[in-house]
Amino acid sequence: MTNVHKIKQDMCDIGRRIYAKGFAAANDGNITVRVSDNEVLCTPTMHCKGFLKPEDISTIDMTGKQIAGIKPRSSEALLHLEIYKQRSDIKSVVHCHPPHATAFAIAREPIPQCVLPEVEVFLGDVPITKYETPGGQAFADTIIPFVDRTNVILLANHGTVSYGENVERAYWWTEILDAYCRMLILAKQLGHVEFFNEPKQRELLELKDKWGWSDPRNTEEYKDCDICANDIFRDSWKDSKVQRRAFPAPEPMGPKAAVNKAAGGSSDQEKLIQMITQRVMAELSKHA
């Protein structure tokens, strides 16, 4: 039998941790837990997550209608409900604004891979959505292209949303991501980010598979991808205005990269060399 009061207490505890971490200023953020096929516990709107009490938590149905509770539900509940609709295995969703991860969402900078082993095992490639005004169904729909291939998403110019089998696990992914983004920013200030190579990345993916955790990079579809180069979600970058600026990708190392190189090369460096060569030859031909 589901102990709803205990779950509400857990939600309040996560709310305090989010607030203490600086992930949710003032009344920012929202937390939900699905307790039945048509019932979802939801934190209230305009209420600081650091001072929640179990009686503050409302209950909504899968359409977003509030069916219990003395305080109005979060205005961003539709985002949570869309995740539950897309992922039947998910029981809790946490949305907040962790500053270091949100900085990447504001800059539309893809999260670098092949840097920290724990991140590769627990998170993998992290997508960035298109921007939509928060609260409506259009905003909720921005997660649909990504939700089945990850448990944490950057919401463009907004924050993060992460989800899992319980509220503790849902929160974990956000905490791991923000800590990683902080490390990246600090390393960048030191002047350099060193990537480990693809064979070492493959070892981590093998461990992840052995432990029973799914990762798109372990599927047949992506077996030849450049796993250190954010290949999983790169097709979405144009629509989301995502572009590498602060953290250039490592030189491609995968099987696909080898084929591209044999066919004439596709890296930015090779393109630059080719362009310079063409210009030099054009100038020489003018004076021949």
In SS3 terms, 46-87 reads as CCCHHHCCHHHCEEECCCCCEEECCCCECCCHHHHHHHHHHC
Query: Residue 222's pLDDT is what?
Result: 87
What kind of fold does domain 4-190 have according to CATH? L-fuculose-1-phosphate Aldolase (3.40.225)
What's the pLDDT score for residue 282? 67
DSSP H or E run through 202: helix 198-210
pLDDT of the residue at 278: 66
Instruction: Please state the pTM of the whole predicted model.
Output: 0.87
In terms of DSSP bridges, do strands 30-36 and 58-60 run parallel, antiparallel, or are they unpaired? unpaired
Domain boundaries in the chain?
Answer: 4-190, 254-288
CA dihedral angle for residue 22, residue 76, residue 172, residue 179, rounded to 10 degrees: -40
Q: Quote the pLDDT of residue 261.
A: 43
User: H/E element holding 139?
Assistant: helix 137-141
Determine if residue 74 is left, alpha or beta; phi over 0 gives left, psi from -120 to 50 gives alpha, anything else beta.
beta
Q: Strands 92-96, 152-155: parallel, antiparallel or unpaired by DSSP?
A: unpaired
Condensed to tens digits (0 to 9), the pLDDT of residues 143-176 reads 999 999 999 999 999 999 999 999 999 999 999 9
Residues of the chain with pLDDT under 70: 252-288
Put residue 69 in one of left, alpha, beta given phi > 0 → left and psi -120 to 50 → alpha.
Answer: left
